[in-house]
Amino acid sequence: MNIAVVGMGYVGLTAGTCLAESGNQVVGVDVDREKIAKLNQGELPIYEPGLSELMENNLRSGRLEFSTDLVRAIHTSQIIFIAVGTPQGPDDLPMIDQVETIARQVVEQMPDYRLIVIKSTVPVGTTVRLEKELSLLTETPFDIASNPEFMKEGYAVEDFLRPDRVIIGSENPRVIAVLEELYLPFVRNGKPIIVMDPTSSEMTKYAANAMLSTKISFINELANLCDRMGGDIDLVRRGICSDSRIGYQFLYPGLGFGGSCFPKDLAALSKMAKLAGYPAPLLNAVLEVNRVQKQSLQRKICDYYGDDLRNKIFAIWGVTFKPRTDDIRESPALGLVADLLAAGARVRVSDPRGMDNLRKVFGNRVGYCVNMYDALAGADGLCLVTEWNEFRNPDYKKMLELMRKAVIFDGRNVYNPIKTRSRGFDYFGIGRK
Ligand SMILES: NC(=O)c1ccc[n+]([C@@H]2O[C@H](COP(=O)([O-])OP(=O)(O)OC[C@H]3O[C@@H](n4cnc5c(N)ncnc54)[C@H](O)[C@@H]3O)[C@@H](O)[C@H]2O)c1
């Protein structure tokens, strides 16, 4: 099939590349000329494991190309996926003006029938509303479907090639047949393609992110109880997660959830609920627990050193919102760095992939260390923010030699408290008093 994917971010670039990998002819479209130029040279503008090789293969085979020319893409493609960003707006609802503009352009420019597929996360009811509005603009037949994306950054290629499920939001048999055929190569392992109406499909995306965020805030709330009442959250975690009704996934205590999806999607769902006349107390509590959780290390540092951090130096290991990505959107590191600087401290960071993005936010107000140990020289504390594998088994002897004050604020419970203390460090984790 000839396919256009509009929006070459984490989602669109991965989806487009994987669709080319399964034999389709794909054009990836973006408004960012610099990005498109890089992509056409085989250069990846983001870090996503496994994507570079796949993209190169498909560029070489001629199944994948990149362009800024949306009109040409509309003419040459039967299916147009919309995968542009839908960032949180000032009213907490996602801004979907780009999604709407592209959909409008498709119906205005299409020479004959086209299928528009909305992959971006959009408010519940958008596809049905757009279908009505767009049909007023054209006599030419078209269809529009919802097809939310569930990939995880860091595992996006794996998730797209072998998804847990594919959701098709359409009640039109012709659309369902086309999309089932398109996705069949990715569900040979027996995982389901679930067909539903577009509104349920849009709600499914929000529901999935709300459930996962709720698990994170739940375990963090229990960790906070352990901090105050005693008990070790890691033991409690093992105690509850071994129950098959509960399970282990997404129940890791830490600094809360970040990234471009969970915080934005939860805020959007909460706002949509409010507009629908339902106050959604659970969703709001999940967000509030997360807001406070992201400040955990700041509080522990102030408990240890007091509020005035002038003349103190802090090393931060990990600035991305999770490992295996360069994405720092909504990362707890952003608030931590800002608060430490505001309290007069000096900050040095080390991260395998996220430092270029952090530099765009903090410029030269922060020191950037390619070597993780360089960040520790003369430091009064180490803050572990992102659990990259390379931080898991450090050279403790070297750390003791380098640091002015051997204290670790472990935001991901990566280190063993007893062993770390026996090695000569003061140690503060999450829920491990
Ligand atoms: N990042 C994730 O892990 C993830 C997972 C599932 C769903 N989503 C959703 O998918 C959507 C895309 O997310 P993302 O993280 O890939 O976004 P992103 O910010 O990484 O990329 C968006 C891209 O769209 C391009 N763009 C914006 N307006 C455009 C236009 N008019 N025409 C062409 N290109 C345009 C931008 O230049 C950018 O390259 C969002 O709705 C997001 O909520 C994201």
Outline where DSSP puts E strands in 40-92: 64-67, 79-82
Ligand 1 atom closest to residue 12's alpha carbon, by position in its atom list: 16
Please check whether residue 100 is in contact with residue 130, taking contact to mean a CB–CB distance below 8 angstroms.
Answer: yes
Rg (CA), the chain: 23
Residues sharing a CB contact under 8 Å with residue 245, sequence separation 6 or more, in sequence order: none
Of 226, 225, 374, 231, nearest to 313 by C-alpha is 374
The pLDDT, as a whole number, for residue 272 is 98
> Which residue's CA is the nearest one to ligand 1's atom 33?
30
Element (H, E) at 317: strand 313-317
* pLDDT recorded at residue 413: 97
Residues 186 and 283 in one domain: no
One domain for residues 211 and 186: no
Tell whether 172 and 210 lie within a shared domain.
Answer: no
Shortest-distance atom of ligand 1 to CA 10: 16
The Å distance, Cα 153 to ligand 1 centre, comes to 12
Co-location of 40 and 157 in the same domain? yes
The verdict on residue 348 lying in a domain is: yes
For the chain, the average pLDDT equals: 97
Is 261 marked active-site? Answer: yes
Which ligand 1 atom is nearest residue 98's CA?
Answer: 31
- The answer to whether 171 touches 197, Cβ cutoff 8 Å, is yes
Residues 288 and 306 in one domain: no
φ, ψ dihedrals at 413, nearest 5°: 50, 45
User: Which residues line the pocket of ligand 1, CB cutoff 6 A?
Assistant: 6-12, 29-32, 35, 83-86, 98, 101-102, 120-121, 149, 151, 153, 260-261
Residues 268 and 320 in one domain: no
Smallest CA-to-CA distance from 51 within 353, 358, 264 is with 353
Q: Is residue 19 a contact partner of residue 26, using CB atoms and an 8 Å limit?
A: yes
120: CA distance to ligand 1 center in Å?
7
- Asked whether residue 360 is assigned to any structural domain, the reply reads yes
Active-site residue, from 18, 226, 261, 369:
261
- Same domain, yes or no: 46 and 178: yes
- Give the CATH number of the domain where residue 221 resides: 1.10.1040.10
Which pLDDT score, from 0 to 100, does residue 50 have? Answer: 97
Q: Please tell me whether residues 164 and 19 are part of one structural domain.
A: yes
Distance CA 194, CA 219 (A): 30
Element spanning 410, H or E:
strand 407-410
- Phi/psi of residue 324, nearest 5 degrees: 65, 25
Domain end point (choices 166, 196, 226)? 196
* CA 90 – ligand 1 centroid, Å: 18
**What would the two tokens of residue 321 be?**
């919102």
Q: Ligand 1, atom 25: nearest CA belongs to which residue?
A: 7
Instruction: Please tell me the distance from the alpha carbon of residue 86 to that of residue 357, in angstroms, as a whole number.
Output: 20
Same domain, 156 and 21: yes
Same domain? For 173 and 307 the reply is no
Q: What are φ and ψ of residue 416, in 5° steps? A: -80, 120
Q: Is 433 domain-assigned? A: no
| Total domains present in the chain | 3
Among residues 196, 224, 257, which one ends one of the domains? 196
End position of a domain, from candidates 248, 276, 292: 292
* Ligand 1 probe mutation, 48, 80, 84, most atoms within 8 A of CB: 84
The span from the CA of 352 to the CA of 326, in Å, is 8
Q: Please tell me the distance between residue 225's alpha carbon and the centre of ligand 1 in angstroms.
A: 37
Measured between alpha carbons, how far is 261 from 332 in angstroms, rounded to an integer?
Answer: 14
Residue 377 counted as domain residue? yes
153 Cα nearest atom in ligand 1 = 3
The answer to pTM > 0.85 is yes
147 occurs within a structural domain: yes
CA of 26 to the centre of ligand 1 (A): 17
pLDDT, position 226: 97
End-to-end CA separation in angstroms for the chain: 58
CATH code for position 96: 3.40.50.720
Shared domain check, 9 and 158: yes
Query: Mutation test of ligand 1: which of 34, 69, 86, 149 has the most ligand atoms closer than 8 Å to its C-beta?
Result: 149
Instruction: Give the domain extent around 131.
Output: 2-196
User: Would you call 303 exposed, middle or buried from its count of C-beta atoms within 10 A (0-12, 13-18, 19+)?
Assistant: exposed
Ranges in the chain, pLDDT < 50 = none
| Alpha-carbon span 316 to 319, nearest angstrom | 7
CA of 432 to the centre of ligand 1 (A): 38
Ligand 1 centroid, distance to 119 Cα (angstroms): 9
Q: What is the DSSP string of 3-19?
A: EEEE--SHHHHHHHHHH
Going 419 to 420 to 422 to 426, the CA torsion angle's sign is negative
What strands lie across the sheet with 142-146, from one edge to the other?
64-67, 25-29, 2-6, 79-82, 114-118, 142-146, 166-169, 193-196
Q: Do both 111 and 237 map to the same domain?
A: no
Q: Which of 30, 71, 212 to mutate to test the pocket of ligand 1 (most atoms within 8 A of CB)?
A: 30
Tokens of 204: 């499914």
Which residue's CA is the nearest one to ligand 1's atom 19? 85
Smallest CA separation from ligand 1 atom 17, residue: 85
Q: What is the SS3 assignment for 302?
A: helix
pLDDT of residue 433: 74
Is residue 312, in this structure, part of any structural domain at all? yes
Residue that the structure tokens 């934005």 belong to: 264
Q: Which residues, 6 or more positions from 8, have their beta carbon under 8 angstroms from its beta carbon?
A: 16, 28, 29, 30, 32, 35, 36, 39, 45, 66
As a 3-state breakdown, the chain gives helix, strand, coil percent values, each rounded to 5, of 45, 15, 40
What confidence score (pLDDT) does residue 302 get? 97
